[in-house]
Amino acid sequence: MSSQFPYTRPRRLRGSESLRSLFQEVEFSLDDLVLPIFVEEEIDDFVPINSMPGVRRIPESRLASEIERYARAGIKSVMTFGVSHHLDDDGSDTWNDNGLVARINRICKEAVPEMIVMSDTCFCEYTAHGHCGVLHDGKVDNDATLVNLGRQAVVAARAGADFIAPSAAMDGQVQAIRAALDGAGFHDTSIMAYSTKFASSLYGPFREAGGSALKGDRKSYQMNPMNRREAVRESLLDEQEGADALMVKPAGAYLDIIRDIREASRLPLAAYQVSGEYAMIKFGAQAGAIDEGRVVRESLGAIKRAGADLIFTYFAMDLALGGI
Ligand code: PBG
Ligand code: ZN
């Protein structure tokens, strides 16, 4: 008897590199990744983001050549964020056909037509107060913001964006945007909904990258990180409202939510590895505590294993260039 124990030996399938790769269950590739980019108007030089080593704001004047460089490296898709010099109470620059949202989407599509361009659709980088919508009596007015989201979506679609990606966390935003797009004839413009978006402390470095003026927080519109049932409900609502794809954000600390939504919906599901997740890996590696390339691959692989089809990550270019 003792010679037969243990009966089951999972180690048999781990004995060599060939065995391990033969039996590996999930994988990610460049085809699954979307690179988020920050584009600033009225500047001449790249601006490094101190809290995100390796990430730089791109001057609008250099955007076309950057997009060409990404395409050559094998990047299939970018998510555009504008860094505006034209802030006001409502973020009205976003629904101007010559405003920054329109220009950056147009430049990307004209530079590389096959690049899939997703337009982050929100107001926090265009409002003087830094909130994601219109303020009335110190509160973000949901329904007034919906009207403006529709305007911005149509402007981005007209500029050529393939996807409208509303991140404002307003109730009804997907339906409002779908109606506005269809009303303007943009039936083929898709919606990548930030459908389950938590009020996370992991967005900290993004606020520097995007130059956000926010004082306070977004807890009255983004979700409580402790809520699992509500997380599924939020994504299912966006599905009903007409989203073409769903998203969980952040990713790494929310793998249970990714799995829940994967099982609750048949829509494609994305996950956003956010600025704070990027920063933790970068600074950990810079301190010599972890191996950057291996931790990046492990974290992205785990996000796929949890059930994501695509991943937004600031590491996409590093991976494409083989730098990590
Ligand atoms: C804007 C927006 C944010 C992020 C994406 N879109 C910031 C926020 O909601 O506060 C975060 C991205 C990141 O941290 O990488 N609404
Ligand atoms: Zn916002």
Q: How far is the CA of 79 from the centre of ligand 2 (A)?
A: 14
275 lines ligand 1 (CB under 6 A): yes
Cβ of 319 closer than 6 Å to ligand 1, yes or no, is no
Instruction: Give the model's pLDDT for residue 209.
Output: 85
State the pLDDT at residue 212.
Answer: 81
Q: How many CB atoms lie within 10 A of CB 257?
A: 26
Predicted pLDDT at 21: 97
> Which one of the listed residues 76, 109, 249, 282 is annotated catalytic?
249
Residue in this structure with the two tokens 């730089």, named with its chain if needed: 56
Question: What per-residue confidence (pLDDT) applies to 207?
Answer: 87
- Ligand nearest the Cα atom of residue 120: 1
Closest CA to 254 of 294, 220, 302, 215: 302
- Which two three-digit tokens encode residue 290? 């972890």
132 lines ligand 1 (CB under 6 A): yes
- Residue 100: the pLDDT is 98
Question: Which of these is catalytic: 76, 109, 139, 197?
Answer: 197
b/e burial code for range 271-297 (CB count within 10 A of at least 16 → b): bbbbbbbbbbbbeebeeeebebbebbb
CATH dotted code for 27-320: 3.20.20.70
- Position 2 scores a pLDDT of 57
Q: Is 76 a catalytic residue?
A: no
pLDDT tens digit at each of 324 positions of the chain: 556 899 999 999 999 999 999 999 999 999 999 999 999 999 999 999 999 999 999 999 999 999 999 999 999 999 999 999 999 999 999 999 999 999 999 999 999 999 999 999 999 999 999 999 999 999 999 999 999 999 999 999 999 999 999 999 999 999 999 999 999 999 999 999 999 999 999 999 998 888 887 989 999 999 999 999 999 999 999 999 999 999 999 999 999 999 999 999 999 999 999 999 999 999 999 999 999 999 999 999 999 999 999 999 999 999 999 989
Is any atom of ligand 1 closer than 6 Å to the C-beta of 119? no
Tokens of 233: 């409900």
In the chain, where are the structural domains located?
27-320
Ligand 1 center to residue 206 CA distance, Å? 6
**Residue for token digits 């530079």?**
111
CA of 24 to the centre of ligand 1 (A): 33
Q: Which residues are CB-neighbours of 38 under 8 A, at least 6 positions away?
A: 49, 55, 56, 57, 58, 81, 82, 83, 209, 210
Asked if 67 and 111 touch (Cβ cutoff 8 Å), the reply is yes
pLDDT for 130: 95
